[in-house]
Amino acid sequence: MGFDVLLDQAGSLGRFQILQIAFFFVTNVITYTHILLENFTAAIPGHRCWVPLLDNHTASGNASDILSQDALLRVSIPLDSNLRPEKCRRFTHPQWQLLHLNRTFPNVSESDTEPCVDGWVYDQSSFSSTIVTKWDLVCESQSQKSVVQTLFLSGSLLGSLIFDYLSDRYGRKGVYTWCLLQTAIMDTCATFAPTFLIFCILRFLAGFSVIIVLSNSSILASEWAVTNSQHIGVTLLLCAHSIGQILLGGLAFAIRDWHTLHLTASIPLFVLSLLSRRLVESARWLITTNQLVEATKALRRVAHINGKESAGEILTLEFVRSTMKEEMDKASTKPSMVEMFHAHKLRMRIFYISLLRLGTTVPFYGLILNLQELGSSTFMFQILFGAVTFISRCIILLITKYMDRRISQSLFSFLAGLCILVNTFLFKEMQTLRVILATLGIGAVSASTTTFAVQYAELIPTICRSTVAGINNVFSRTGAVLAPLLMTLVVYLPHLPWIMYGVFPILSGLIVFGLPETRNQPLPNTIQDVEKDTKDSRRVKDDDTFLKTTQF
């Protein structure tokens, strides 16, 4: 390919590429924590109603001297169906007669209780403060945590549409630097938000830019690498997401105050936004937009960083123009959206791929955004999930060498769905089994997502991959928005969101068989490659299989 020739002259895997990947790796680790902040900043601690006998020391002085705290709690707070103190109701008047009962619990009428009109008292053993304790997002307002997450991810959906367009029009580097700065400013300001509404608006604006930081880093890393080594940088940056999960779990364990945690995750982005100005704009993009002079300067700068001083004499404007002429001609014949959707087989591939993307994204975000629902140790789950996703992303690259794409995608999807569904109906006391199933589930979802990325690259023609990537990104962000939105249904039926999280990957495991198998098949470059009859390729594959089985 033409650009690979230019990169060979400037250095295809030298000091520049190593420094660039290292910078993006660090940036992605820190940026990814912002997606998951609500696991800790919006954690719901144990709580009960504020009652005078326990919490107004001037009014309860005599009673507290005579009776224990448990006795005062018993006469002030009714018990729920599990014989634990209610979290959202209290007695209108102390029920002193309950002190004289041993194992008999008389029925308490609704008229004897009332909501927590004086506020709540929160357990501070795990979290000293969260946005839940700051704005009392419990009981009737408990779903507001999911609203924050939904708004953040809705911002990422809208931001990806706008900033993707701006990246293609005005360049990768400028948009990347701006999005880093915007994320830093918005999440720093969110720390000092005076009201919950302003906090939600600021998190929405942070989500507007955070996904572009993650996606543009992969684009820049890929566009400064030769074709056969692009997967190295992308895989490393995906692993950075897993390291980000582990980092957040460690930081949250050490920092229990949500203000400090928010600032700790946000302030480093200011420094990184300044350092990002030293990045080199994508020469591929510059050539595609016919900015050959700037592209030549960028290539010479990369050659200088890589220590190829003599390349400056070779990388002239005429050399760049002649080398890239063929690819520039191909770019000018890029098919329109109408042409793509007139192609029946390509249209069906895009349809199935979009559904697959939606089906894998919903359970992934459903698990990583609701760690508190899986068990009591949120910190452990955060670190464990990060480690498991890291391992599964590395292992799946080996598995796909020996297993068909559709079979591996289906198996991992079914495994993820079954783990989530079984975990949904387990008793909370079965903590060890719940941890095992949740860990296995997130590992399977992560493996399914990685398999999808491999399969996607093998299904979509090179000439229209960027357009399809935009469609695919919309479905991905839609799935991310849908995951916390489903959690708001927990007030109507506690198991319903988790049932939905389990159903989505199972449906994905069935949908994948609507796509052709791509392992050991030639990659399509044009729409015609997809639309032509595939009988010949099937016959070639059968002949290859026969030859392999007859070898001794």
Q: Are 234 and 218 in contact (CB under 8 A)?
A: yes
Q: Which of 48-57, 196-205, 275-284, 493-502 has the lowest mean pLDDT?
A: 48-57
- With H, G, I as helix, E, B as strand and everything else as coil, classify residue 188: helix
pLDDT at residue 312, rounded to an integer? 67
| CA pair distance 550, 385, nearest whole angstrom | 44
Cite the DSSP H helix spans in 371-430. 371-374, 378-399, 405-424
Joined together, the tokens standing for residue 6 give 């230019």
Q: How confident is the model at residue 285 (pLDDT cuts 50, 70, 90)?
A: confident
Q: Which of 59-68, 120-129, 422-431 has the lowest mean pLDDT?
A: 59-68
Q: Kindly report the average pLDDT of the chain as a whole number.
A: 81
pLDDT at residue 323, rounded to an integer? 72
pLDDT at residue 396, rounded to an integer? 78
Q: Are 298 and 280 in contact (CB under 8 A)?
A: yes
Going by C-alpha positions, the residue among 293, 272, 265, 271 that lies closest to residue 281 is 293
Helix axes 431-459, 344-368, angle to 10 degrees: 160
CA 359 to chain centre: 14
Residue with more model confidence, 527 or 219: 219
pLDDT at residue 544, rounded to an integer? 40
With a pLDDT cut of 70, the percent of the chain lying above it is: 84
157-167 tens-digit pLDDT? 898 888 888 88
Q: Are 204 and 154 in contact (CB under 8 A)?
A: yes
Q: Which of 67-71, 96-100, 406-410 has the highest mean pLDDT?
A: 406-410
| CA pair distance 6, 314, nearest whole angstrom | 9
Q: How many CB atoms lie within 10 A of CB 63?
A: 15
pLDDT at residue 286, rounded to an integer? 85
| CA pair distance 458, 517, nearest whole angstrom | 9
Going by C-alpha positions, the residue among 540, 358, 343, 374 that lies closest to residue 461 is 343
Q: Which of 163-177, 226-240, 295-309, 407-421 has the highest mean pLDDT?
A: 407-421
**Alpha-carbon torsion, ordered 226, 453, 23, 390, to 10 deg:** -130
Q: Are 234 and 208 in contact (CB under 8 A)?
A: no
pLDDT at residue 101, rounded to an integer? 59
pLDDT at residue 537, rounded to an integer? 44
pLDDT at residue 260, rounded to an integer? 94
pLDDT at residue 195, rounded to an integer? 94
pLDDT at residue 59, rounded to an integer? 52
pTM score over 0.75 = yes
pLDDT at residue 454, rounded to an integer? 74
Q: Are 483 and 505 in contact (CB under 8 A)?
A: no
Strands 120-122 and 47-49: antiparallel
Give the end-to-end CA distance of the chain in Å, rounded to a whole number: 38
324-360 tens-digit pLDDT? 776 666 555 566 666 666 677 778 888 888 899 899 9
| CA pair distance 355, 371, nearest whole angstrom | 25
> Dihedral of CA 18/21/27/32: which sign?
negative
pLDDT at residue 549, rounded to an integer? 32
| CA pair distance 212, 219, nearest whole angstrom | 10
pLDDT at residue 462, rounded to an integer? 59
For 395-410, what is the mean pLDDT?
A: 81
Is the pLDDT reported for residue 103 higher than 80?
Answer: no
pLDDT at residue 539, rounded to an integer? 40
Is the pLDDT reported for residue 104 higher than 70?
Answer: no
Residue 334 dihedral angles phi and psi, to the nearest 5°: -60, 130
pLDDT at residue 197, rounded to an integer? 94
pLDDT at residue 251, rounded to an integer? 94
Q: Are 51 and 346 in contact (CB under 8 A)?
A: no
| CA pair distance 441, 210, nearest whole angstrom | 26
Residue with more model confidence, 311 or 208: 208
Is the pLDDT reported for residue 461 higher than 50?
Answer: yes
Strand partners, 120: 49
Q: Report the amino acid identity of residue 224.
A: W
Place of tokens 């992934």: 364
Is the pLDDT reported for residue 248 higher than 80?
Answer: yes
Range(s) for CATH 1.20.1250.20 in the chain?
A: 1-42+139-333, 334-551
Q: How confident is the model at residue 201 (pLDDT cuts 50, 70, 90)?
A: very high
Residue with more model confidence, 528 or 246: 246
Q: State the CATH architecture for 334-551.
A: Up-down Bundle (1.20)
| CA pair distance 477, 468, nearest whole angstrom | 14
Q: Are 389 and 245 in contact (CB under 8 A)?
A: yes
For 537-549, what is the mean pLDDT?
A: 38
Q: How confident is the model at residue 182 (pLDDT cuts 50, 70, 90)?
A: very high
> Dihedral of CA 496/498/501/502: which sign?
negative
Is the pLDDT reported for residue 63 higher than 80?
Answer: no
Cite the DSSP H helix spans in 255-343. 258-275, 283-288, 292-305, 311-314, 317-332, 337-342
Spatial neighbors of 271 by CB under 8 A, at least 6 apart, are none
Q: Are 277 and 305 in contact (CB under 8 A)?
A: no
pLDDT at residue 531, rounded to an integer? 72
pLDDT at residue 546, rounded to an integer? 30
> Dihedral of CA 316/318/320/323: which sign?
negative
| CA pair distance 316, 302, nearest whole angstrom | 14
For 363-392, what is the mean pLDDT?
A: 86
As assigned by CATH, the class of the 1-42+139-333 domain is mainly alpha
Q: Are 41 and 130 in contact (CB under 8 A)?
A: yes
pLDDT at residue 88, rounded to an integer? 86
pLDDT at residue 541, rounded to an integer? 42
466-521 tens-digit pLDDT? 677 778 888 888 999 999 889 888 878 889 999 999 999 999 999 989 888 877 77
Q: What is the DSSP letter of 79?
A: B
pLDDT at residue 302, rounded to an integer? 83
Distance set, CA 266 to CA 28, 372, 380 (Å): 13, 23, 23
pLDDT at residue 265, rounded to an integer? 94
Is the pLDDT reported for residue 99 higher than 60?
Answer: yes
Q: Which of 178-192, 297-311, 497-511 has the lowest mean pLDDT?
A: 297-311
